[in-house]
Amino acid sequence: MPDGLTALPDELYDSAAAKFGEGNIAPSQWPADGELLLGDALYRPVVPAYRDLVPPDGPWRPVWNVMGTLSELHGEDNVRLIVWFGG
């Protein structure tokens, strides 16, 4: 596992199935306000924004700069980045 991440206990999935339904056992499938108390640990769903998954610097920095400028000009909801990887 990457640094800072730990595996979720198996009991969490059983508790989530009981509380949220069989198809909603992973935290990313829980309702936005869903939470489970397991022992003395409270689990809540966390859905990261795409910006949290890609570093702000490095080779993508020029792209983020252009996206920031476009969102200032046209509004954040009016700018999309579509990337194609393939050959």
pLDDT digits (tens, 9 = 90+) for 57-78: 888 889 889 999 999 999 999 9
> Which residues, including other chains, have CB under 8 Å from residue 63's CB and lie 6 or more apart?
81
Total residue length of the chain: 87
Report domain extents, the chain: 10-43, 49-87
Strand partners, 42: 37
pLDDT at 6: 67
Strand partners, 41: 38
Q: How far is the C-alpha of 65 from the C-alpha of 80, rounded, in Å?
A: 13
Candidates 31, 13, 35; CA nearest to 22 is 13
- For the cut 50, the answer to whether the pLDDT of residue 51 exceeds it is yes
What does pTM read for this prediction?
0.48
pLDDT digits (tens, 9 = 90+) for 9-49: 888 888 888 888 887 777 878 888 889 998 898 988 877 77
